[in-house]
Structures are given as structure tokens and as C-alpha cells.
Amino acid sequence: MTLTPLFVVFVASAAVEIILGVVAYSVSFRAKWVFGRHLGGLSLTGGVYTLGNAFSFALGVPDDLILRWTGALNWLMAGLHVSVWVYHCHAQLGSPPARWVQYLSATSIALGVLGLVPDLCVGSKVVVRNTPVGIVTTPELTDVAQLMGAVWVAIMASVFYFYVKAAWRGSSRAMEHAAALGVFFMTVLHEFALSFGIMHGMTSIQFGFAVVVFVVLRDVIIQLLADSDALVALSASLSEKVNSQARHLVESKEQLLRAERLSALGMLATNVGRELNDPLAVILASSHWLKERLTKSDPNDIGGAVEDILQATDRADRIVRDLQVFVRETDEPRTSSSNVTEVIERSLRLVSAELRRAAHVNWTPTTVPEAAIDPQQLTQALVNVLVHACHAFPERRAASTEARIEIRVFEHGGDIQVLVDVSGDSATANAERRALDSTASE
């Protein structure tokens, strides 16, 4: 047994095909990728067949046992290779495998398995030939092998016809596959001619395997590029959907905040109406009294009535101004150095009527440094918290000492913090959660 350069070339070619087949099949099996599995199957079977030929055609192994088992293994690889090619033909053209395609594939595999039966296809004799490329040793093939080879030729001819027919109808890349199958078909015929002694020379089926693998590899690359474009398009579509959902969430949040403000504004309108009733009643009563007493009353009495009117008017004006601050529309915060205590008192005035009917309010004004805040936003936040705090007492027992809302403001670590504490038997966990949600939304 002599190691020749041709043997090294055959082994290297087989190694490349086997490695490519293992990688393609492993990746495609996990990803359920049909073309990748076809490439793996064709590369593996072609690589193993080429490795077997390296021992007979390139190395000239005289051992009949090795040659017999090498020939049987090649027979099996040929059956599997043709079977995979039949399936790839239909997958590449986008048509599901018909019943006759399954029959052809099963027949090819069965022929390959029969090659493993001792002395059925591969005989016990070794044929040694002296060719221009060196000594070639091949196992003797039986008459059954000739018949089975004819069946394989018929299978490949049917697939070739299918490709030519598809190419005639204008199917994409069908002509390329027809040409590749034609080359492989001719190398198979040449292989049979060499095995049966009809022709002499070097085997060419390795070239046929290489053409087949190259064409299928090209299919895989084209599919990869198409899948890549599809993934890019899908990514762009998903990105647009995510952005759309994000915009929708922002709009929904803004609508929720507007609804929250409208709800609070509706309650404030009722409270402001009640609050304005008192100063307006004072103004009306004092005005009638002045009208009746203007000419005959003591100036001191008139001065007291005027003072009542001024105080009531100032109170009504303060209520209106507080309400204007609350309902002012703004897109961006307008921060300024403001007194937090004044903001708290303004918020308490806006909901004072509701607070008097709901709970006892414990609030002592505290002197704290001014802070850079948006008075309107802080007023809105405090009003929402106080409104929900009032809802924490559904029974509205103002006389109950248990229904209590405590407000504290203090400085901590350079920050001004406002704490609203709701306590009482009738304060529910849900109402407290709503108050906290209101604070977070502001």
C-alpha cells in the first residue's frame, strides 16, 4: 500500500465535505432548516463516498475485505445521496414532496441498504487494473448490482426531467440544478463504467459530488440572504409597532392624567361653589344693610359693614385665584423659587369643604426654605392626594376622631418633603393606594 499525492487530495476533499456536512446538519437540525439539512446530508454522503474511493482508486489497497466493505459503504452512501437530492429538488422549487417523490426516495435508500448484504452487490473478488494514473483496485460487482444501478439511473433521470420541466416553465434556478444534476448523472455513469471494467482511468464522481454540494450550498446562501432581509424587515416592523405602542401608552397616560384632573376639577367646582356662597352671602347681606342704613347709621357701623364686605370679597378673590392656578394648562414645568407652605395652604383651601365633611385635618404651618418648584404641579398633586384621602372615608363622619388627615412639611438633606398621612378605621387600602398612585402620576 503506497501513499500517493492523489490519496492525500481525496482524503482532504472528503474531510472538507464531511466537516461541512456535520456543521450544516447540526445547525439546521436545531433551527429546523430544510435546506441546511439537505446540504448536510449531501455533504456527508459525498464525503464518505470520496473517502472510500481514496482507498480503492487512489491508494490501491489489495486487501479484499477492506475493499468489499468499502464498496458496500459506498453503495449505501450513493443510495442516501440520491434520496436527499430527490427531496431537495422539490424543496428548492417550492413544491411539497408528492407521493411518487417519497417512493423514489425510499427506493434509493432501500437500494443503498441492500448493498450492505454480503455478496449481494459487492462480490468477493478484487479487480486490479493498471491505469495511466496508477494501479486501481476495485471490488467486483455482481449482476444484481448492475440491475440496481440501472434503477438508480432511472431515479436520477426522473429528477432530471422534473428540473428541465420546471426550467421550461420559468421556475427560478431550475436550469442551474438541472445542469448540476446532469454533471452528477454523467459522473455516476462513469463510475459504473469503471466499476464494471467498461472504461479505464480515474474516477470522476468526486467532481460530481462537489458540483452538487456547491449548488445546494448556493441555495443555502441565497436562503440566508433572503431570511436576513426578512429579519431586517421584521425588525423594522416590530420597532415601528413598539414605537407605536409607546406613543399609545404616553397618550393613554396623558388622557388618564387629564381625566384625573377633570375628576378633581369637578369636585373642586362643587367645593368652590360652596366656598363662594359664604362670602357672597356676606357681601349681599352687608350691601342691603348699607343701602338701608347709609343715611341714618353710625359711621362706625358702616365701617364695620364695609370691612366685612372687603374681607368676603378678598376671600372670594383668593378662592378664584387658587382655582385659576389649579386649572392652568401647561406643557412644560414652570419652576420658580416658591413657598411650599403657601402651596399647601392653597391646596387645602381648594378642597376645604370636602375635607370638613370627611375628616379632621391636622396641619400646622411650618417655616421652611423656599424651593425651586412648579406651584401649579405641586398644587395639582396635593389636591389629588387630598381628594383621594377624602375618599378613604366613605362614611364621611366628620365628628369621628378616628378619621384623620395629617400634613407635615420638613427639610431633609437639602430637600423639602411633604408628607400626607391618612389614618382611621374607615380608610381602605384601596383608597390609600389611589392616593399614592395620584402622587406618582404627578
Do you know the residue count of the chain?
442
321 C-beta neighbours (distance < 10 Å), count? 12
Detail the DSSP E strand segments found in 253-315: none
pLDDT at 266: 66
Cα distance between the two ends of the chain: 89
pLDDT at 430: 41
Of the candidates 201, 215, 180, which has an alpha carbon nearest to the alpha carbon of residue 58? 201
Q: Place domain 334-442 in its CATH homologous superfamily.
A: Histidine kinase-like ATPase, C-terminal domain (3.30.565.10)
pLDDT at 236: 83
Contact between 333 and 377 under an 8 Å Cβ cutoff? The reply is yes
Contact between 1 and 67 under an 8 Å Cβ cutoff? The reply is no
Q: Give residue limits of the domains in the chain.
A: 5-237, 334-442
**Same fold for the domain at 5-237 and the one at 334-442?**
no
- Burial string for 132-158 (b: 16+ CB within 10 Å, else e) reads eebebbbbbbeebbeebbeebeebbee
* Per-residue pLDDT tens digits of the chain, which is 442 residues long: 556 666 777 788 888 888 888 887 777 766 567 777 887 888 888 888 888 777 766 555 556 667 777 778 888 888 888 888 777 777 766 665 567 777 888 888 888 888 888 878 776 676 666 655 556 666 677 788 878 878 878 887 877 777 777 777 766 666 777 777 777 777 777 776 766 666 665 566 777 777 777 777 777 777 777 777 777 888 888 888 888 888 888 888 878 877 776 666 666 666 666 667 677 777 777 776 666 666 565 656 666 666 767 777 777 777 776 666 666 655 566 788 888 888 888 888 877 777 777 778 888 888 888 888 888 788 878 888 887 777 766 554 544 556 788 888 888 877 888 888 877 654 443 444 443 344 433 4
Task: Give the Cα separation of 78 and 94 in Å (integer).
Answer: 25
- Burial string for 219-247 (b: 16+ CB within 10 Å, else e) reads bbeeeeeeeeeeeeeeeeeeeeeeeeeee
Contact between 390 and 437 under an 8 Å Cβ cutoff? The reply is no
**CATH class as words, domain 5-237:** mainly alpha
pLDDT at 326: 64
* CA 194 from centre of chain: 56
